[in-house]
Amino acid sequence: MAVAALAVGGIAAALYSSGGKTSTVAVAVQRPHPAAKVVRKTKRSVSFPAGHCPLTDLPAFGGVVPQRPALLVKIGNEPGPARPQSGLNEADIVFDTPAEGFIMRYVAVYQCQNATALGPTRSVRWVDYHIAPEFDQPIIAFAGGIPPNVSAVAGLPWLSGANLLAGQANAAYRTTNRAPPDNLYTSTTGLYALFPKLVRAPKPIFPFTPALPKSAQPLASAELDFSGGTNVVWNWQPASRSWLHTYSGSTDIDTLTGQPVTATNVIIEIVPYTIGPYVESTGGTGDIQSETTGTGLGYVLRDGHFTPIVWRRPRLTDPTTFATTSGVPVGLAPGRTWVEIMTDTQASTGIHFTR
């Protein structure tokens, strides 16, 4: 058995390898500083070639990047009624975030591609508008929410909210093949039409590099144990050079195209959290408020390899950066990226790598 220990900024993690399988244990013993006040003066050092999509570094259709902001859409992921979702493969970035009870929900981010059906859309959460500042002046679409969260979105001058159960309901529609609340859908065209004056593309939030870090190690699959029914396995597919998204051994399908859900990059961010003060639904608990500012450990999965990393995001308006534990910057491969936000308590026993 081989053991490699990592310790950075009061956060410790260990990799255990035996019999071809690597189990990862990561425990945060120090929380990052509280979320900073949003100040719209962050400088971005990441650049990208002309005609390339800012959030993926892929060539834009026709060589022209759409002049529109990042569009964040809250999508449900409850086992059973919310699946399979529509439009995940058309997103540039997907954030997988824990909600109450550690059931996972998505924040899908669109900019360079269109999707005619997105959903099912669900209610806004605290973590959503704490992720959003990375994208400068984005749009966020959601299906209502508890008053404190809806009011918070409405009160942020740099964030344009589209509440699909209220003033922006004309951009949504109900399907007949699912039961409420998992039958409310929308589209990128309908959402962008709500904000015709927003005509500036976002700046990149990730650095992209052609080569793997020297410290990268081969990886066949990564299992993330979030909670019952939302555990995920990412399997490397050499033929398509992508990671295949599966639940309980079954391939996840994007119903918009009928194609398997895949990602070029998978980022695992291990974060501290608190339980929010407001109950999200009758008989439920407070929301999981994942702290995505500060610093922590994690992994970058790309090109059939994994790299242990330290992530840093000093302020809400800063993009998250990644470096090896020795400080070497880690870049992503051009393409779609999934960001798995995993709480420190989940990560303590819930990350398993097969090499």
What confidence tens digit (pLDDT) does each residue in 152-166 have? 999 999 999 999 999
> Is residue 31's pLDDT more than 60?
no
Task: State residue 316's pLDDT score.
Answer: 96
Number of other residues whose CB lies within 10 A of the CB of residue 80: 7
What 8-state DSSP symbol labels residue 293?
S
Tokens of 227: 């909670």
Query: Which one-letter amino acid corresponds to residue 306?
Result: F
Q: Given pLDDT bands bounded at 50, 70 and 90, which one contains residue 229?
A: confident
219-235 as b/e: b if 16+ CB within 10 A? bebbbbbbeeebbbbbb
Parse the chain into domains and list their residue ranges. Answer: 1-355
Task: State residue 177's pLDDT score.
Answer: 92
> Is residue 21's pLDDT more than 60?
no
Q: How much is the average pLDDT of 100-112?
A: 94
More confident residue, 294 or 28: 294
Task: State residue 40's pLDDT score.
Answer: 44
Q: Given pLDDT bands bounded at 50, 70 and 90, which one contains residue 49?
A: confident
Could you report the per-residue pLDDT of 183-217, keeping only the tens digit for each? 999 999 999 999 999 999 999 999 999 999 999 99
> Is residue 291's pLDDT more than 80?
yes
Task: State residue 44's pLDDT score.
Answer: 54
Smallest CA-to-CA distance from 297 within 353, 355, 256, 348 is with 348
pLDDT above 90 coverage of the chain, percent: 79
How many residues belong to the chain? 355
pLDDT above 70 coverage of the chain, percent: 86
> Is residue 106's pLDDT more than 60?
yes
Task: State residue 43's pLDDT score.
Answer: 52
Q: Which range among 29-33, 34-38, 71-75 has the greatest average pLDDT?
A: 71-75
More confident residue, 132 or 20: 132
For domain 1-355, is the CATH number 3.30.1360.120?
no
Task: State residue 46's pLDDT score.
Answer: 60
More confident residue, 49 or 324: 324
Strand-pairing partners, residue 235, are 221, 244
CA distance 318 to 329: 16
Compute the radius of gyration of the chain from its Cα atoms.
19
Helices within the chain (DSSP H only): 128-131, 147-154, 188-192, 344-350
Q: How much is the average pLDDT of 238-250?
A: 94
More confident residue, 30 or 132: 132
Which of 39-48, 270-279, 330-339 has the lowest average pLDDT? 39-48
Task: State residue 241's pLDDT score.
Answer: 97
Task: State residue 166's pLDDT score.
Answer: 97
Q: How much is the average pLDDT of 229-251?
A: 93
Question: Hunting for tokens 């959003």 — which residue is that?
Answer: 132
Q: How much is the average pLDDT of 84-107?
A: 95
Number of other residues whose CB lies within 10 A of the CB of residue 22: 20
> Is residue 6's pLDDT more than 60?
no
DSSP track, 159-174? -EEEETTTTTGGGEEE
Task: State residue 282's pLDDT score.
Answer: 74
Q: Given pLDDT bands bounded at 50, 70 and 90, which one contains residue 121?
A: very high
Q: How much is the average pLDDT of 275-293?
A: 88
Task: State residue 280's pLDDT score.
Answer: 82
Query: Which one-letter amino acid corresponds to residue 81?
Result: P
> Is residue 236's pLDDT more than 60?
yes
CA distances from 242 to 105, 150, 207, 236, 339 (A): 22, 36, 18, 6, 15
CA distance 103 to 254: 20
